[in-house]
Amino acid sequence: MQQTSHNSPLSKEIQVAHWSRPQRPAEVDIVALFRVRGLQPTRWANGAGQLYAVHAHAYRKILYCLEGSITFSLPDLRREVELLPGDRLILPPGTRHGATVGPEGVTCIEAGE
């Protein structure tokens, strides 16, 4: 699979934005971004190497990486996207994706709309 490393849409609706500032964003600021949109974010964490099988959601998924790293696979595009602290991934409803947690584990915050 090809890995992406820039800020751009991967398709018409799949978007990835890599954090470019030296200091990672504060969790409270990311939560505020969700709440401004009327969304209730969920925080979750997993240990190194955790695998998520390919699946899809019926809603638009917005996810920020807070700590560690996670690599999302997008099998229909034959692409992978690695998220580091501050990076954001937006997946439209029905987008098939899987994920592998990086070597230091990961903490993310996400919501669906």
Domain range for 65 = 6-112
Residue 81: inside a domain, yes or no? yes
CA distances from 10 to 2, 27, 38 (A): 11, 26, 26
Residue 28: inside a domain, yes or no? yes
Residue 23: inside a domain, yes or no? yes
Cβ contacts of 8 within 8 Å, gap of 6 or more: 15, 16
- Residue by residue, pLDDT tens for the chain (113 residues) are 444 444 455 666 899 999 998 888 899 999 999 999 999 999 999 999 999 999 999 999 999 999 999 999 999 999 999 999 999 999 999 999 999 999 999 999 999 99
Residue 83: inside a domain, yes or no? yes
How many C-beta atoms lie closer than 10 Å to residue 5's C-beta?
8
Residue 93: inside a domain, yes or no? yes
Position 38 scores a pLDDT of 97
Domain count of the chain?
1
Residue 1: inside a domain, yes or no? no
From the list 78, 83, 111, the residue with the least C-alpha distance to 97 is 78
